[in-house]
Amino acid sequence: MPVKLNRQNKIKEILNSYKISNHDQMIKLLEREGIHITQATLSRDFAELGVVRTFVENEPRYTLNPNESGKQIDKLIGFEILSVHHNESMIIIRTLAGRAQGIAHYIDRLNKHEIMGTVGGDDTVLVIPSSVKYIDDIKKFINNKMNQT
């Protein structure tokens, strides 16, 4: 996985696990994970990931903005998906090696009612529709993501 993508994934993981109120806290947690980063790079990563500073229980806290956080990942998805296939009940997505779990996580986070869930392996994602009537819609949606690049 590229260094930047790995670092940004770790930032998202930390934001979802800890209450971060300043850059120094984030930098220290990243250093514990073996990721050394400058404050300027962290600011750029926050901007790209859509991280915003909000007040939760009268305390400042950095959080992922749900309106922005997926936009950077959207740009990568099309490069990582190789093909989409389906039968009467399920959809299979072939991905670059090592990217299936990331794609599965991305799809799950979309919270689309047409998708019950996913299972990600190394280079294959199993997409389970909430109903077989949604298979064509889901396949079109995934193909559109592939063609956004």
- pLDDT tens figures, 29-61: 999 999 999 998 998 888 778 788 888 778 888
- The model's pTM is 0.55
Q: What is the CATH number of domain 3-64?
A: 1.10.10.10
Q: Is the pLDDT of residue 73 over 80?
A: no
pLDDT in tens, 85-134: 999 999 999 999 888 988 888 888 788 899 999 999 999 999 999 999 99
Residue 77's nearest CA partner among 141, 11, 127 is 141
Residue 66: predicted pLDDT: 60
Listed by start position, the domains of the chain span: 3-64, 76-146
- Is the domain covering 76-146 a CATH 3.30.1360.40 domain? yes
